[in-house]
């Protein structure tokens, strides 16, 4: 049951807010009590109703511009134009939202907000009119504090809720993002409820987005306060950030539903800090979580690949499904995730998400995702836009950082589609130049029907030797059976260390002759054997890194954005010339080729973050954790850590956030050394 505030509770709320403000901000009573006197008890629900029945879709400038000058009327109109021209409006994108920095730093003599005349020379109403004329809607931003989040300090709405809400409504605003900065310690529920009531008092339907970063667990109290609530801190345009936000938002599934959504922050798709595979994962997982889809890239500069991702109508339909369920985690082990979302038509959308840096077999079944027993099922691949049949297996070998997104249904027409086939590869994709490696491919029929005239091919870069050592074709492969093929792959002598593409491709036919294929892109790392003796890890090439902010730094701390922006590594006042500067969540992998014995380091949170930051360090030898520190704070001195890595092909240095989010988690692996 939604809570309907009565006249007395409403009065109490306003009175409490006034007291809180008088205590904390020194505002005068008439200003704090700017609310009109309550009249009749509202007969409607607390929150403007009938809005955001599916997760809001649109655009917000923040992730691409922050407060830079390019955020202005021209940009906003340009985005609205592109929504129409590029078909994004037809795909469901509707809200064009302004973030921080649209106003002047001071209110006018009447206490009103003033749009920045340089950015918005015609005011906000003119922008709203333009956007409305295109059949779109306009969103705006302010903070539930005395100032917004940007350091310039634009006016916030705390104590001005009714006046600011009325101004927004008068301009024709349809959506408010209400941030949390400079909140003066006033109770969050009170601050956000007051703005809800102020928006409602305008009589204009306005989608209300709470942006208090999940600090007060809004999913527990905000379903009749806002239409959506941020569940985490800010996203940034990198894999580690996206992943950490995803992991925080997934467990909150029970709290989402029509009119009240978990908001894991806006999309980074197209901003350049992730690969297209990673952006497809980002978009797939946001959709399976029924998250708001707010485009965060400047579409005027976006690539065709970016438009392809944002405009994938089959994936959007997952997000916008009217049943309004957020997908739940069915399994997660070793970075292999199965997330399933119940759909209104009885089908299930299944995300097979690979968090790891190498291809992974990820599997579930039609029964496990909740489908009724049937002889066969239709399995629709929402990125390939192709349908297959399955006997009940829902599985794929998913490329590194990729997501296979499938809509699975127990419909009666499964037999008209070719069988689903999984292509996989066993063996190490770490290769030294000139040395042959043995691999085995498997082409497995998942379908109810057999795969006929099956063939498999493995191809590598020019100059590489790729030879099959067993048959590459089969007349028929039946349900649950595989065509297995042995391969020998040799990178030529002198191949430089780095990543190289290998492609495994299977072609086959359905019993009625329909041609189908299945492709698995793979990445080989050509590696160099580690030197014998003792080496500083800051001086050795790594295999891969992921990092919460900016790149991992060699021999300096983490500076959060560009490469080389760190400072001397400093722990408890001691400065180290050598080491690795990371930011949680982070993982750094080294090829050790079974030739090394120990990893040692002095670890801790860098002094540059003062008293802030808590992290935990782990060292892994292949799949085994061989050392861990537990949670370390900035108050602690450097802690020595040492691990036996004998026999490991790969050593991984991991930093987690210590369980309290990633704020200030500058993690140093000071003096990190490898003995081989
Ligand atoms: C906070 C919010 C962001 C953005 C900025 C603007 O950090 O969480 O989404 O709105 O403020 O200053």
> Does residue 154's CB lie within 6 angstroms of at least one atom of ligand 1?
no
Per-residue pLDDT at 11: 30
Mutation pick for ligand 1 pocket among 66, 147, 211, 231 (CB with most ligand atoms within 8 Å): 211
> Does residue 140's CB lie within 6 angstroms of at least one atom of ligand 1?
no
User: From the CA of 66, how far away is ligand 1's center (Å)?
Assistant: 9
> Does residue 663's CB lie within 6 angstroms of at least one atom of ligand 1?
no
- Token pair of 537, please? 């890890």
pTM: 0.86
Q: Regarding the domain delimited by 58-325, which CATH topology (the fold level of the hierarchy) does it fall under?
A: TIM Barrel (3.20.20)
Per-residue pLDDT at 661: 86
> Does residue 229's CB lie within 6 angstroms of at least one atom of ligand 1?
no
Per-residue pLDDT at 35: 45
Residue 104 three-state SS? coil
Which of the residues in the chain have pLDDT under 50?
A: 1-42
CA-CA distance, 63 to 293, in Å (whole number)?
A: 13
Q: Tell me the Cα Rg of the chain.
A: 28
Mutation pick for ligand 1 pocket among 59, 63, 64, 99 (CB with most ligand atoms within 8 Å): 99
Per-residue pLDDT at 44: 64
> Could you tell me the sign of the dihedral formed by the alpha carbons of 159, 95, 549, 72, in that order?
negative
> Does residue 150's CB lie within 6 angstroms of at least one atom of ligand 1?
yes
Q: How many CB atoms lie within 10 A of CB 434?
A: 11
Per-residue pLDDT at 46: 83
> Of 81, 116, 150, 234, which residue is the catalytic one?
234
Q: Is 110 a catalytic residue?
A: no
HEC sequence for 494-529? CCCCEEEEEEEEEEEECCCCCEEEEEEEEEEEEECC
CA-CA distance, 672 to 506, in Å (whole number)?
A: 44
CATH class of 418-528: mainly beta
User: From the CA of 148, how far away is ligand 1's center (Å)?
Assistant: 8
Of the candidate CATH numbers 2.20.28.270, 2.40.50.320, 3.40.50.2000, 2.60.120.1060, the domain formed by 534-675 belongs to: 2.60.120.1060
Sorted by where each begins, the domain ranges of the chain are 58-325, 418-528, 534-675
Residue 89 three-state SS? helix
> Does residue 560's CB lie within 6 angstroms of at least one atom of ligand 1?
no
The atom of ligand 1 lying closest to the CA of 141 is 10
Q: How many CB atoms lie within 10 A of CB 14?
A: 23
> Of 179, 237, 319, 665, which residue is the catalytic one?
179
DSSP state of 106: S
Q: Residue-wise over 201-227: b if at least 16 C-beta within 10 A, else e?
A: bbebebbbbbbbbbebebbeebbbbbb
Q: Is 234 a catalytic residue?
A: yes
Per-residue pLDDT at 45: 75
* Class of residue 433 by CB neighbours under 10 A (exposed 0-12, middle 13-18, buried 19+): middle
């Amino acid at each position: 049951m939604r809570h309907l505030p009565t006249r007395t509770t409403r009065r109490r709320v306003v009175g409490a807010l006034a007291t809180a403000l008088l205590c904390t901000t020194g505002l005068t009573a008439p200003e704090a009590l700017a609310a009109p006197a309550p009249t009749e008890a509202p007969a409607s629900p607390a929150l403007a109703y009938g809005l955001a029945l599916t997760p809001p879709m649109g655009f917000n400038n923040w992730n691409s511009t922050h407060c830079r000058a390019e955020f202005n009327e021209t940009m906003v109109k340009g985005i609205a134009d592109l929504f129409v021209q590029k078909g994004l409006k037809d795909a469901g994108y509707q809200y064009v939202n302004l973030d921080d920095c649209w106003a002047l730093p001071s209110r006018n003599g009447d206490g009103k907000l003033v749009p920045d005349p340089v950015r918005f020379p015609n005011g906000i109403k003119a922008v709203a009119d333009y956007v409305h004329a295109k059949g779109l809607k306009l969103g705006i931003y302010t903070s539930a504090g005395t100032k917004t989040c940007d350091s310039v300090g634009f006016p916030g709405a705390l104590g001005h809720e009714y006046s600011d809400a009325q101004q927004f409504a008068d301009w024709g605003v349809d959506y408010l993002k209400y941030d949390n900065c400079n909140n003066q310690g006033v109770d969050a529920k009170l601050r956000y409820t007051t703005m809800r009531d102020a928006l409602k008092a305008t009589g204009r339907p306005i989608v209300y987005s709470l942006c208090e970063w999940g600090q007060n667990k809004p999913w527990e109290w905000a379903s009749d306060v806002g239409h959506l609530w941020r569940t985490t801190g800010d996203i940034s345009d990198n894999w580690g950030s996206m992943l950490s936000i995803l992991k925080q938002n997934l467990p909150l599934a029970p709290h989402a539903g029509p009119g009240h959504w978990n908001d894991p922050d806006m999309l980074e798709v197209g901003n350049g800090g992730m690969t297209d595979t990673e952006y497809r994962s980002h978009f797939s997982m946001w959709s399976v979580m029924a998250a708001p889809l707010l485009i965060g890239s400047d579409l005027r500069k976006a690539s065709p690949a970016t438009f392809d991702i944002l405009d994938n109508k089959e994936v959007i339909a997952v997000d916008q499904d009217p049943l309004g369920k957020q997908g739940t985690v069915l399994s997660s082990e070793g970075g292999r995730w199965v997330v399933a979302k119940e759909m209104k038509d009885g089908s299930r959308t299944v995300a097979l998400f690979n968090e790891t840096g190498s291809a992974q077999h990820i599997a579930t079944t039609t029964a496990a995702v909740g489908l009724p027993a049937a002889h066969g099922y239709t399995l629709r691949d929402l990125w390939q836009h192709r349908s297959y049949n399955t006997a009940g297996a829902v599985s794929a070998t998913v490329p590194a950082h990729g997501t296979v997104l499938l809509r699975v249904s127990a419909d009666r027409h499964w037999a008209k589609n070719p069988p689903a086939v999984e292509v996989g590869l066993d063996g190490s994709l770490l290769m030294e130049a000139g040395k042959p490696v043995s691999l085995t491919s498997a082409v497995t029929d998942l379908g109810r029907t057999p795969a006929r005239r099956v063939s498999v091919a493995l191809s590598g870069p020019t100059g590489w030797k790729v030879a099959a050592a067993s048959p590459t074709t089969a007349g028929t492969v039946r349900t649950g059976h595989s065509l297995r093929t042995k391969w020998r792959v040799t990178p030529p002598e002198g191949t430089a260390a780095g990543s190289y593409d290998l492609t495994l491709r299977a072609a086959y036919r359905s019993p009625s002759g329909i041609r189908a294929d299945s492709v698995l892109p793979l990445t080989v790392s050509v590696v160099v054997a580690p030197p014998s003796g003792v080496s500083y890890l800051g001086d050795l090439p790594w295999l891969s890194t992921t990092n919460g902010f900016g790149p991992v730094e060699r021999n300096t701390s983490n500076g959060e954005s560009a490469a080389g922006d760190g400072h001397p590594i400093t722990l408890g006042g001691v400065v180290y010339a050598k080491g690795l500067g990371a930011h949680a969540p982070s993982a750094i992998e080294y090829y050790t080729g079974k030739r090394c014995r120990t990893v040692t380091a002095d670890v801790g949170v860098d002094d540059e973050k003062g008293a802030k930051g808590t992290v935990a360090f782990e060292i892994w030898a292949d799949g085994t954790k061989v050392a861990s520190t537990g949670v370390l704070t900035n108050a602690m001195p450097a802690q020595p850590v040492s691990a036996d890595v004998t026999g490991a092909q790969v050593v991984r240095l991991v930093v987690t956030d210590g369980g309290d989010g990633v704020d200030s988690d500058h993690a140093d692996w000071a003096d990190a050394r490898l003995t081989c």
